[in-house]
Structure 1
Amino acid sequence: MYTDTQERESSVSSNGEESAQNNLNGINILLVEDNDLNMEIAEFYLSDRGAMIEKAWNGQEALDKFTSSAPNTYDIILMDIMMPVMDGLETCRKIRTSNHPEGKNIPIIAMTAQVSQECMDKCQLAGMNGHLTKPVTSEKLIKTIMEFTI
């Protein structure tokens, strides 16, 4: 399943309130982002809801962390597309073809400022399950994670 989260954004309540259902306690996330500010914002949104975050600053670091992890270490991967060392698309392809028992099935969500259909198609072809457009709001981020993990 591939999801463009822009389509679901209208389902957020009109007054911006978030229900207690939006709790991420027990969700383990590999957050892959090379920009300090974007990493800090996403980490704040997620940890504020109880998620456990492990950070990677480029695709190679994310690949190394994922492939050396025990099964069930991560519930979802949130990944920037444009990063140094290895970009998010290549990282996703390598995760999908790795020997890790969860490599083919772990949800991988792109986080990018690119909104073109071409970008979304590339994400899907690389094996990503969804696409979040930056700047990411806490509501979109949490709803997307819940959709793929709960």
Structure 2
Amino acid sequence: MPDSGLIVAILLIQILGAIGAYLMSWLSGRIGNIRTLMISIIIWIGVCAAAFVITTEIQFYFLAASVGLVMGGVQALSRSTYSKMLPETKDHASYFSFFDVTEKVGIVLGTFFFGFMEYATGSIRYSVLSVAFFFILGMLLMFFIPRKEWKVTKN
């Protein structure tokens, strides 16, 4: 794939990220943040599965478009959901500092396992499956969120 193809993919991700954020906001207004995040995670698992099997350049572009639609929305929605679940306090900065630290830890661990799986298996395709594992783990953890938090709320 030529370098220009990667530039096109990055542009697709960025442009569709804004559209995806809008769509996720709309959906969360209709079914709630938690359910929308779960749908997003299911889409991410599908994206990982698709990345494991793609073979053509056009498939790569469709994959990049899918990533763009989900990535922008899930980032904004996760922060919004977190803020709605915070207790009443004057010190929200500490809670968001914790959120940011856990996000960075997730980035480091995800990158490590991605690289480790490529090293261990010799195939970057299996690295993508390691990312899917973390999405599945995240989905399972979401079931521990109290049901009262699943209610539909207007943003």
How does the TM-score come out when normalised to structure 2? 0.29
* Structure with the largest fraction of strand: 1
How does the TM-score come out when normalised to structure 1? 0.30
